[in-house]
């Protein structure tokens, strides 16, 4: 089975978390944390910063590793490094997604998360409640 390595940004603003709705592909309309595939030689944190710059046109920083999710989809294995972070510079100008929503901690389950991202939300809830 093919394995795909990605990095995802859990972007915080005050007490809210950014969720992104996929606008294309196999998982169109599902909700996820923004990010993307690692390029050769790139760390998860480097990929996270680059992907958010490309997708949302903002600079993120203060990255802190939340979790690495391993998930088997039907056609591939996903290894997703997830980082808590915040926007340091710029205003979001989304180039990739159908929709973006800022969710406060009491409403993290208001969207239909993709299977791998469900594990991230669970890890996030543990972090927020500790």
Give the pLDDT confidence score for residue 130 in this predicted structure. 79
Question: If you search the block for the tokens 């926007």, which residue do you land on?
Answer: 87
Alpha carbon distance 38, 15 (integer Å): 28
Give the pLDDT confidence score for residue 108 in this predicted structure. 96
Write down all domains in the chain, each with its CATH number in brackets. Answer: 2-129 (3.90.79.10)
pLDDT digits (tens, 9 = 90+) for 15-47: 899 999 998 888 999 999 999 999 999 999 999
- Exposure letters 48-86 (e unless 16+ CB within 10 A, then b): bbbbbeebbebebeebeebbebebeeeeeebbbbbbbbb
pTM of the model: 0.94
Q: Is the pLDDT of residue 126 over 90?
A: yes
Strand bridging mode 35-37 / 2-13: antiparallel
pLDDT digits (tens, 9 = 90+) for 49-103: 999 999 999 999 999 999 999 999 999 999 999 999 999 999 999 888 999 999 9
């Amino acid at each position: 089975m093919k394995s795909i390595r990605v990095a995802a940004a859990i972007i915080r603003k005050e007490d809210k978390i950014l969720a992104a709705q996929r606008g294309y592909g196999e998982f169109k309309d599902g909700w996820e944390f923004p990010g993307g595939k690692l390029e050769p030689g790139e760390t998860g944190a480097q990929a996270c910063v680059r992907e958010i710059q490309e997708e949302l046109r903002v600079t993120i920083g203060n990255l802190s590793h939340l979790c690495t999710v391993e998930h088997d989809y039907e056609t591939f294995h996903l290894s997703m490094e997830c980082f808590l972070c915040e926007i340091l510079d710029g205003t979001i100008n989304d180039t990739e997604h159908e929709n973006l929503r800022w969710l406060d901690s009491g409403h993290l389950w208001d969207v239909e998360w993709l299977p791998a991202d469900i594990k991230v939300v669970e890890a996030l809830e543990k972090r927020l409640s500790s």
